[in-house]
Homo-oligomer: A and B are copies of this chain.
């Protein structure tokens, strides 16, 4: 398999906290710096690769169109084996997209949209099948929620996700609590992964402790399994081995670092990845938006009036250390949350440049 050459960091050691105090796990993202996560250090620690301008040009050549602003602007900034996926496409060979969501609140917030907006674009640009996993079981294992409550959240979130406009004929969206009970092949792949990961390895990737439930400790194999096309025999046929590309925020990387360690040992393709940075909370880039903190996020169900209030009241803006410096130098767009939100969602490059110019000018 072409994708198996690269050395992975599937550690026997604790690596979910970096030297610089940045913590990045699927359940906890924290930085001790007010600039937020140091992504260069994170890339090095995780062992993935920054997306270069050359790679972006190669993508544009393969798909025959410009890349999405989320990629152009470096919001999707890191990858594993993206070249392999491009080579598949160039050779006319199939691949598929896999992304997902842990449904922890009835309404999704803006940050949750990023992978789906980008995945929708990838699906259109490459014309490939897509599977979307809703990890209601994960939320059940981690939160104080019943199974029925998490299944309801998955259903609610599915509506928001469907609204992103995926290709109806090429998209399968599923809840684990429903689909695992409908597909022997999916369960078999879950156990295929679970057999090949030790508690020590899971501890190294995810920071589990001996007080964690055996459900949590086993869960990574459930997020891993959709990386293998044979989990979806009705889409890809039985015993298929079609590679996949996973667009996700970089906090999900540990799941797939683990998966990539297992895949060659069981004769399957390693999943390729394309990672985004975190969408900043209203309070600033130190942490990612959290659905469990109402004031940290703009929800898809918020009214325009509520959004206006949240931006005015909570959005961290400016960034100079004194009001005077702010007036003199203007805002620092690198950390100004309102500007950052535009950078994520406002497609018009020219206008965005203008806005940046205005914001970073002295207020004179």
Binding site for B on A (CB under 8 A): 137, 140-141, 147, 177-178, 180-188, 191-200, 202-203, 208-215, 217-218, 220-221
Contact = CB atoms under 8 A, between A and B. Distances in A.
Chain B CB within 10 Å, residue with most, of A177, A215, A220:
A215
A236 to B, nearest CB: 16
A194 B180 contact: no
B180 A184 contact: yes
Contacts of A140: 191, 195
> Taking the full assembly, how many copies of this chain does it contain?
2
Contacts of A213: 194-199
Contacts of A217: 199, 214, 217-218
Given A214-B217, A217-B199, A185 B194 contact: no
Q: What is the interface of chain A mostly: helix, strand, loop, or mixed?
A: helix
A65 B214 CA distance: 44
16 contacts: A137-B191, A177-B187, A178-B184, A180-B180, A181-B184, A181-B186, A197-B214, A197-B215, A198-B214, A199-B199, A199-B213, A200-B210, A200-B211, A203-B210, A214-B220, A217-B217
Nearest to A141: B195
Contacts of A182: 181-182, 184
A203 to B, nearest CB: 7
Contacts of A195: 140-141, 213, 215
**A147, A186, A214 — which one has the most chain B CB atoms within 10 A of its CB?**
A214
A147 B188 contact: yes
Contacts of A208: 199
A102 to B, nearest CB: 14
Nearest to A201: B214
B187 A211 contact: no
Nearest to A197: B214
